[in-house]
Amino acid sequence: MLWACLAMRILSNPLSNVFQKLLTAAGTGPLFVIGMVHGMLAILCLPLLAFCPTLPASFWLIMLGSALLTVAGNVLIVAALQRADLSVLGPINSYKAIVSLLPGMLLLGEFPPYGSLTGIALIVAGSWFLGDGDSETRGWWQVLRQRGVQLRFAALVLSALEAVVMKRAMQMGTATSTFAAWSIFGFIVAAVAVAVVHPRAEIARQMRLMRRKTGSCLALMLTTGLMQACTIVLFYAFDVGAALALFQLSTIVSVLLGWQVFRERNAGRRLLGACVMVVGAVMIIVMGK
């Protein structure tokens, strides 16, 4: 059951990125994309609240903080997908396993062994293959200078923190209550942000855009909901650092989808880099046992 859930998580994450990129290519703003997804999931989750046990106020407060990190991080991810290749942004997500180590130690008491340094080194080494290849240093430096890549690094810091905060809330609640709170609070945060940032005319225009892309919106809601549900289930079974490292297997799928769907170049080189980074992520888990 856990391995099937892991497989769905690995596939749903890059597929979600594909639909995010397709929607932004059609002119939909990042904040509207995130708000739409959480809004649709919130409608589906409202009946689930009737089956949730009574939970302490601290659970809802922590989940509100998680929702703030979720919306901010996902907006940055969608904005990054507007500006950079999926086959580059996917492998960069491997750094989340590294970023998550420090807050995991401070907040959850999950201390990685020294052997994890081998995996970290491989993740960093694999990053060099994301450049153009004409010049190793210049190519990777050009990648780092891309605005989309910088936004993705900022997003992975927020999402790594979100993972730790959410697992803290899960210690007080159930998988159902956590997923429902994530969906509903995420919609509230996104809706407030949209109302504050955008004028009514822009909101109306964005709503018309999303209605014309109903199929992509539904597909994004399905893949995002599946991804988050599997994430919550797996967080009950693994430490945060180990779970996030396992999720990095989706980087290979991201490179392949970037090549097939968006015809992104340097697919072979980036696939090699992604494989090295995946080995590094797996090493973090193996050395941690």
Please tell me the total count of domains within the chain.
1
Residue 15 to residue 250: CA distance in whole angstroms: 10
DSSP class per residue in 74-93: HHHHHHHHHHS-HHHHHHHG
Summarize the confidence of residues 159-168 as an average pLDDT.
84
Average pLDDT over residues 144-164: 87
Share the mean pLDDT of the chain. 86
Q: Which of 72-81, 226-235, 244-253 has the highest mean pLDDT?
A: 72-81
pLDDT at position 214: 95
DSSP string, 149-199: HHHHHHHHHHHHHHHHHHHHHHTTS-HHHHHHHHHHHHHHHHHHHHHHHS-
Q: What is the reported pLDDT for 20?
A: 96
pLDDT band at 264 (very low <50, low <70, confident <90, very high): very high
Strongest mean pLDDT among 155-169, 254-268, 272-286: 254-268
Residue 172: phi, psi to the nearest 5?
Answer: -105, -15
pLDDT digits (tens, 9 = 90+) for 21-58: 999 999 999 999 999 999 999 999 988 877 777 889 99
* 134-147 pLDDT tens trace: 555 455 677 778 89
pLDDT band, very low/low/confident/very high, at 278 (cuts 50, 70, 90): confident
Indicate if the pLDDT at residue 122 is higher than 80: yes
The model's pLDDT over 177-233, given as tens digits with 9 standing for 90+, comes to 999 999 999 999 999 999 999 999 999 999 999 999 999 999 999 999 999 999 888
Q: In which domain, by residue range, is 52 found?
A: 2-287
pTM: 0.86
User: What is the reported pLDDT for 39?
Assistant: 96
